A and B are shown apart, each in its own frame.
Chain A
Amino acid sequence: MQYTFSDEQEEFRLIVRRFMDDKSPTTEVRELMATDQGYDKAVWKQLSQELGLPGIHIPEAYGGQGFGFIELCIVMEEMGRALLCAPFFSATALAATAIMSAGTEEQKLALLPDIASGETLAALAYNESSGHWDPASTALTATPSDDGYVLNGGKSFVVDGHVADLLIAVARTPGTSGIYGLSLFSLEGKGEGVKRRLLQSLDPTRKLAQIEFDNAPATLLGELDAGGTTLPHILDLAAVALASESVGSAQKMLESSIEYALLRMQFGRLIGSFQAIKHKCADMFLEVELAKSAAYYAASAAAEQTPDFPAVASLAKACASDTYMKAAQECIQIHGGIGFTWENDTHLYFKRAKSSEVFLGDPNYHRDQLVLRWED
């Protein structure tokens, strides 16, 4: 188990951070969040070509950088810190991970290189409008056709689904129920029978789409009916990636709180000199560090494929979600009235915290999973 980052990883983090500082100041975030597309193509191209980030954890054999899950999480953390608006989480952390876990060798060779180069935007269409995070709740059907399958039904809350070139959809064989009969399918975002709609999201920095499938032709990804075993792992990896993003954002909330507390005066002194504020910051520091440790441990457990991974994935997700939500709340509180204004950046983070709190399952769900999956 890796408890601290190597010098190379720390260096890599700095490079990513510098890029984010440069390309994703909140002025940029605000501009992008107001657009439907939600990201800047030029920045995405640079991020792909100069840093190779979309292929970070994709093996070199499939055109990626060949780093591991820990590096992916470092990227997520830095993106969370900068609230970067880009289809990285959707394409790399979610869709590429799904393809790597479920696809055949041939499919990986066919699909991953374009994701790794940033040319193909992919999205994982998993959740449905029922809002359940349990894979067993999947209702989208995949019926065999002459040259593959056709999908019927709908997906919702698909991150960047409105711009994705490639969709990886979870569907079930008609007549099956529970976690049986689930498979993954790939199809083109603009394909026949696919209707997409951008949803109005509470967090405008993360775009969500609703997708309707009406006899949409699709290709089976990997084995038929294997979703029951591949999906939980894919979702656990996704949860850890999201937890990493959340701790990056939470750290930013802590720093922003301290910065303001050392700037703002009331009653003739810095508000940071009041114990009420100091204690808040100390508590926030404690919680953020704990959440980081949980996220780092989970990333390492993912990389090393340790048996406790499923439990610690849920632990990290629950811990990071709660911590980020609370840190964002406290950051607003420490800013006082200005923290509640549109002009102040804290609300951008607060809204991301709210959406990350429930995405892939809220802390209640993951606490439950944590205990059910725990093995002594």
Chain B
Amino acid sequence: MTTNNTADSNTTSNEQTPDEQSVRSEVRTWLEQNWDPNLTLLEWRKKLIDSGWGVPAWPKEWHGRGLTIGLGDAVDDELRKMGAVSVAKTGVRMLAAATILEHGTDMHKAKFLYPLLTGEDTWCQLFSEPGSGSDLAGLTTRADFDGENWIFNGQKVWTTSAHHAKWGMVLARSNWDLPKHQGMTYFLIDMEQPGVEVRPLRQMNGHASFNEIFFTDAKIAPEFMVSKEGNGWKVAMTTLAHERRLADGIRSWGRGDKGSGRVYDEQKAEIATVMEPYKWYPQRAGRVDLLIERAKATGKYDDPTVRQAIAKVLIMAKAAEWTGRRVKAAHALGRQPGPEGSLGKLAGSQVARLAAQAHTLIAGADAMLTSEDGAMDGLISEILISVPAESIAGGTDEIQRNIISERGLGMPKEPRTDVDRPFRDVPRNTVG
């Protein structure tokens, strides 16, 4: 994450932007004077946020210092070195923050950003529906204005953390007579109200990391609309762009700071709750890191066919990782993300599949067992039954290929019949 900081600051520095060394020494000095592991997590985070070092890349008027992303990373690096706990950054809250910063009103910013950073408020994202996944813009959750409030009815699915979220980012259809992309509106919804029912959704790997959400006359006051009516698609695109960019950070499981003191204990508890749904995510990506170790431990290392299988995974995984780094490095220099972003996702699916194959070869008969009887206490079997998610979650492989060919390679889109007419006239699923 921090390997390219030097390059960042060298190329982006000018008169207005402080150089990396001075930023680093300034934050170090501040930490030396203020960091105290015996504070409560809340006390410490308030202090950090008030100093502007919590989210230095955010605007000055909203808890930040207006620094570049590269310098922000340098500040985080200093916090890490000191062992200081950062602001709450886990889970989907950072997507909410990014969306609110870009499209929210001052009221939204004042009300939501602070408790989001302290960790007091947890957020969830309510986009996917049983009837519309790839075709997100085909969603049918309805928002109807009753003269006082927006009334919500419909169903959402695949919502992480909804069971403990205070707030949700929700996209709903407010106009059925306009073409699909123009009839959606983006809201911030209070999840703790009677019209919102949250049910866990169990996956094929046994975990229930997601929820189904049922809205029955749930209410949202007009001031919680983000941007304006009918502009929901554009706002949602902002959220999704940040989701792609922040994917690794959101899901990094259990990356707590090491140390002893009250603040660490409280952070550990927070991570355990917020990150619980993500604990199998590394397995879903195929656990390439375990392949050589496992091959050696099982004696399969001596089998040339196993080595070939592992080599194929490593070639794909490494080349994909470096592609990802190219994208990140370019982004840190302020360049617009290109179609390479979609390549990483597609490559990741293949890595996961190949890795599962290699893990199967290595495990042999043990691939038939799970839990305590399985290899590595069931970790290997969890890989085998989690990888199918990789080519679906966050946009399927087929959709990625469409995006890559159409947007990346400039190939013509297939003729569409769903965008040129009122949404109510577009054929759609009656059930999910």
Residues of A in contact with B (beta carbons under 8 Å apart): 127, 131-133, 156-157, 199-203, 208, 264-269, 274, 276-277, 329, 332-333, 336-344, 346-347, 350-351, 354-355, 357-359, 362, 364, 368
Give min CB distance, A2 to chain B, whole Å. Answer: 33
Select A343's contact among B202, B381, B418, beta carbons within 8 Å.
B202
**Across the interface, do B367 and A202 meet the contact criterion of CB distance under 8 Å?**
yes
Whether B426 sits at the interface, judged by CB under 8 Å, is: yes
CA distance A338 to B306 in the complex (A): 33
Residues in B with CB closer than 8 Å to A341 are: 201-204
Binds A, one of B186-194, B234-242, B318-326, B395-403: B395-403
**Interface residue tally on B, bucketed by range:** 35 or more
**A357-B367 in contact (CB<8A):** yes
**When the two chains form their complex, are residues B385 and A350 in contact, meaning their CB atoms are under 8 A apart?**
yes
| B373 at the binding interface (Cβ < 8 Å) | yes
**Contact indicator B365/A131 (Cβ below 8 Å):** yes
Q: Which of A202, A208, A336, A364 contacts B305 (CB 8 A)?
A: A364
> Are B365 and A358 closer than 8 Å at their CB atoms?
yes
Which interface residue of B132, B204, B363 has the most chain A CB atoms within 10 A?
B204
Instruction: Flag if A203 contacts B368 (CB, 8 Å).
Output: yes
When C-beta atoms are compared, the residue in chain A nearest to B402 turns out to be A276
Quick one: which of A157, A200, A338, A350 contacts B365, CB cutoff 8 A?
A: A157
A266 to B131, CA, bound (A): 8
Q: Does B16 contact A (CB under 8 A)?
A: no
Known contacts A131-B366, A157-B368, A336-B133: A200-B397 contact under CB 8 Å: no
Bound: A199/B305 CA distance, A? 29
With a CB–CB cut-off of 8 A, which chain A residues contact B384?
Answer: 202, 354
A-contact bits for B377-410, CB 8 A (1 contact / 0 none): 0100100110011011100111001100000000
A202 and B392 within 8 A (CB) = no
Check: B372 CB closer than 8 A to any chain A CB. yes
B370, CB-defined interface residue at 8 Å: yes
Partner of B133, one of A329, A337, A347, A350: A337
Nearest B residue to A133 via CB reads B365
A358 near B203 (CB under 8 angstroms)? no
Q: Knowing A202-B384, A202-B385, A342-B203 are in contact, say whether A359-B365 is a contact too (CB < 8 A).
A: yes
Cα(A286)–Cα(B391), bound, Å = 22
CA distance A336 to B391 in the complex (A): 9
The CA-CA distance from A368 to B303 in the complex, in Å, is 12
Are B396 and A336 in contact, CB atoms less than 8 angstroms apart?
yes
Partner among B206, B305, B306, B374 whose Cβ is within 8 Å of the Cβ of A342: B206
Determine if B388 and A267 form an interchain contact, defined as CB atoms under 8 angstroms apart.
Answer: no
CB of B368 within 8 A of CB of A358, answer yes
Residues of A within 8 A of B360 (CB): 354, 357-358, 362
B256 CB to nearest A CB, Å: 28
**Contact flag A131-B396 (CB < 8 Å), given A202-B384, A265-B429, A350-B385:** no
Q: Does B157 contact A (CB under 8 A)?
A: yes
A336 to B158, CA, bound (A): 12
Question: How far, in whole Å, are A357 and B206 apart by their CA atoms in the complex?
Answer: 21
Question: Considering the chains assembled together, what is the distance between the CA atoms of A112 and B310 in angstroms?
Answer: 46
Give every chain A residue within 8 A of B378 (Cβ-Cβ).
200
Contact partner of B367 (CB less than 8 A), chosen from A329, A354, A364, A368, is A354
Q: Can you name 16 extra interface pairs (CB under 8 A) apart from A200-B371, A266-B134?
A: A199-B369, A200-B373, A202-B369, A202-B385, A269-B418, A276-B402, A329-B353, A336-B133, A336-B396, A341-B201, A342-B203, A347-B385, A354-B385, A355-B368, A358-B364, A358-B367
Q: Which residues from chain B contact A269 at a C-beta distance below 8 Å?
A: 417-418, 427
Q: How far is the CA of A194 from the CA of B202 in the complex (A)?
A: 38
Are A338 and B418 neighbours in the complex by a CB distance under 8 Å? no
Instruction: Give B208 Cβ to nearest chain A Cβ, in Å.
Output: 8
* Interface membership of B432, Cβ < 8 A: yes
Report the separation of the CA atoms of residues A195 and B367 in the bound assembly, to the nearest whole angstrom. 23
A337 touches B132 (CB 8 A): no
| Contact across chains for B368 and A265 when beta carbons are under 8 A apart | no
Chain A residue at smallest Cβ distance from B299? A130
